Amino acid sequence: MLVLNEIQPKEIVPGYNARFIHTDNMTFAYWDVKAGYTLPEHSHMHEQVCNILEGVFTLVVNGVEHVLEPGKVVVIPAHVKHFGTSVTDCKLLDVFYPIREDYKNLP
Amino acid sequence: MLVLNEIQPKEIVPGYNARFIHTDNMTFAYWDVKAGYTLPEHSHMHEQVCNILEGVFTLVVNGVEHVLEPGKVVVIPAHVKHFGTSVTDCKLLDVFYPIREDYKNLP
């Protein structure tokens, strides 16, 4: 069993701290995001599923804005551009397939 | 964007109702579990990651018991036997790779 609080968080971009779990095939990113920060637009070859556990987050996928609150989920297909902004402090869970080797290899 | 409350839940075994999202490669099962129900021991070729969002759930993986509460995560490798019991009413999020075709093809 993994205890998230025992995993060292890493600040990926300002305001965005993540704890990562890498399994055989997937990466789980448990984000603590401070209110009012934007993750710039990007895309990747990984399929991504964004779950919001606490707070409000606006996620723009391929130019379409989604206002995420708990109980709402966005599936981002591989290679699709997306960016987001935290409206409040947030807890997000992003799941990626395949593994995010870039996150796995962070110092 | 998907709204979980708009997805029809399915009772997989007594006490265990799930809403499913199937992506290109993964299955997400959002479970509402009533207190005091056991999911019998089973295994499958899918890797599984069990997240608990609310409540307390005991999960036994390969004979080892884990008491899950929010902030704790269990990774179940492919083909490993597991079963679990809800101590309280629970909300669980299980993520599977590859897709659970059995769940996808439920009537």
Residue A48: list chain B partners with CB under 8 A: none
Residue B37: both structure tokens together: 């129900």
Tell me what pLDDT residue A23 has. 98
Nearest-neighbour CA in chain B from A96: distance (Å): 9
CA distance linking residue A21 with residue A27, whole number of Å: 6
User: Would you call B72 and A26 a contact, using CB atoms and an 8 Å cutoff?
Assistant: no
Residues 6+ apart with CB under 8 A from A59: A50, A65, A66, A68, A74, A82, A83, A84
CB pairs A-B closer than 8 Å: 79
Residue that is written with structure tokens 């995010």 in the block: A100
Asked whether A80 and A42 are in contact (CB, 8 A), the reply is no
Residues 6+ apart with CB under 8 A from A41: A60, A81, A82, A83
Using a pLDDT cut of 70, give the percent of chain B over it: 100
Average pLDDT over residues B2-21: 97
Tell me what pLDDT residue A107 has. 86
Q: Is A2 on the interface with B (CB under 8 A)?
A: yes
Residues 6+ apart with CB under 8 A from B82: B41, B42, B43, B48, B59, B60, B61, B62, B76
E strands, B6-103, where? 10-13, 16-22, 27-33, 38-42, 47-54, 57-61, 64-68, 72-76, 82-86, 90-97
Residue B107: band (very low, low, confident or very high) from pLDDT cuts 50, 70, 90: confident
Average pLDDT over residues B13-20: 98
User: Would you call B72 and A47 a contact, using CB atoms and an 8 Å cutoff?
Assistant: no
CA distance linking residue A36 with residue A38, whole number of Å: 7
**Below-50 pLDDT ranges, chain A:** none
Residue B47: band (very low, low, confident or very high) from pLDDT cuts 50, 70, 90: very high
Which domains, ranges and CATH numbers included, belong to chain B? Answer: 26-104 (2.60.120.10)
Q: Which of A2, A103, A5 is nearest to B50 (CA)?
A: A2
Cα B104 to its chain centre, rounded Å, is 14
Residue A95: list chain B partners with CB under 8 A: 26, 28, 49, 95
Average pLDDT over residues B68-97: 98
The pTM of the full predicted model, rounded to 2 decimals, is: 0.97
